[in-house]
Amino acid sequence: MRTPFIAGNWKMHLDRRAIAEFCAALRELARSRPPARMGVFPSFVYVAEAARALEGSGVIVGAQTCHPQGSGAFTGEVSAKQVRDVGATHVIVGHSERRQLCGESDADVRARLDAALAAGLDAILCLGETLAERKAGETARVVSRQLGAATAGQSGEPFSRRVTIAYEPVWAIGTGVNATAAQAQEVHALLRAQLAAAFGQEAAAATTIQYGGSVKPGNIAELMACPDVDGALVGGASLEFPSFEAIVRQAAPAPHGAGRH
């Protein structure tokens, strides 16, 4: 069974006090042995504080992106090495907002992924289609292209162990409209099949694939019942602890699939 992974992407929300209170509550939740791994991804300025607050709890702390270069004259940027240096263990790469608002291409995302892995960070690799692409019947082509750019030349075992994939249809990000369970399962199954073709069945079965896009307590159980949905990358519903906790507690894995424990 793949252990579900629920990650909260806090984006440019929450302040120091709110994060301190949230992390204290997370420590208590972690002690209750919830059915899912948990992670939080605060703004850069709060990564170190969150890492200190959650040290030893088992809750993952990561950054929302990283620069592909290890150091240099890149004003305003943060390297993967710096992310790790302040106590984080993970980083998100390729989020749809980065692709859309910051113009990150598949090549840019791959460069950030490579930098993160080289620095010793694990990664959540985001991919997904826009509404126009879905309406044009291009979903499979788009997500396959994005995943192929990230997996080319990689080795299956380390990739499956260190990279979580997050399918996040762009049309469902922050809109309140989520993909149906059937839509999510269709794309997740396609991604797992592509991983099997690239790395073999064992590595594909071990890879965690999250769904992201208007996830909330009211739809997480239906999503988790899908055989290839292994958790969620949560945006707005991760900003209030009660809703995040409700999602985590409902994320018990369905009796399907083999893979990482």
Rounded CA-CA distance 160/100 in Å is 27
User: By residue range, what is the domain housing residue 172?
Assistant: 5-249
Q: For residue 212, give every residue at least 6 positions away whose Cβ sits within 8 Å of its Cβ, in sequence order, or none.
A: 9, 126, 128, 166, 167, 168, 172, 173, 232, 233, 234, 235
Q: Two tokens at 162?
A: 């260190």
Parallel, antiparallel, or unpaired: how do β-strands 37-41 and 5-9 relate?
parallel
69 backbone dihedrals φ, ψ, rounded to 5°: -90, 150
The secondary structure of the chain in percent helix, strand, coil, rounded to multiples of 5, reads 45, 15, 40
Domain CATH for 194: 3.20.20.70
Residue 215 lies in a domain: yes
Catalytic residue of the set 90, 95, 133, 188: 95
Tracing tokens 């055989």 back to the chain, one arrives at 227
Could you tell me if 130 and 156 are in contact, meaning their C-beta atoms sit under 8 angstroms apart? no
Rounded CA-CA distance 255/6 in Å is 18
The pLDDT, as a whole number, for residue 211 is 96
- Asked whether residue 41 carries a pLDDT value surpassing 80, the answer given is yes
Parallel, antiparallel, or unpaired: how do β-strands 90-93 and 122-127 relate?
parallel
- 28 among known catalytic residues: no
Catalytic residue of the set 97, 133, 168, 245: 168
Residue 167 lies in a domain: yes
- When pLDDT is averaged across residues 26-30 and rounded to a whole number, the result is 97
Residue 212 lies in a domain: yes
93 backbone dihedrals φ, ψ, rounded to 5°: -130, 145
Residue 162 lies in a domain: yes
Rounded CA-CA distance 40/8 in Å is 5
Split at pLDDT 50, 70, 90, the class of 259 is very low
- When pLDDT is averaged across residues 177-182 and rounded to a whole number, the result is 86
pTM, 2 dp: 0.95
Residue 260 lies in a domain: no
Rounded CA-CA distance 83/78 in Å is 7
The pLDDT, as a whole number, for residue 1 is 67
- Asked whether residue 254 carries a pLDDT value surpassing 80, the answer given is no
- Asked whether residue 173 carries a pLDDT value surpassing 90, the answer given is no
Split at pLDDT 50, 70, 90, the class of 171 is confident
Give tens-digit pLDDT for 181-231.
Answer: 999 999 999 999 999 999 999 999 999 999 999 899 999 999 999 999 999
Split at pLDDT 50, 70, 90, the class of 253 is low
- Asked whether residue 91 carries a pLDDT value surpassing 60, the answer given is yes
How far is it between the farthest Cα atoms of the chain?
50
Nearest CA to 208 among 63, 39, 88, 76?
Answer: 39
- 157 among known catalytic residues: no
Overall number of domains in the chain: 1
Nearest CA to 142 among 172, 160, 168, 114?
Answer: 168
Residue 261 lies in a domain: no
Residue 127 lies in a domain: yes
Parallel, antiparallel, or unpaired: how do β-strands 209-212 and 163-167 relate?
parallel
- Asked whether residue 137 carries a pLDDT value surpassing 70, the answer given is yes
Nearest CA to 210 among 106, 57, 90?
Answer: 90
Residue 254 lies in a domain: no
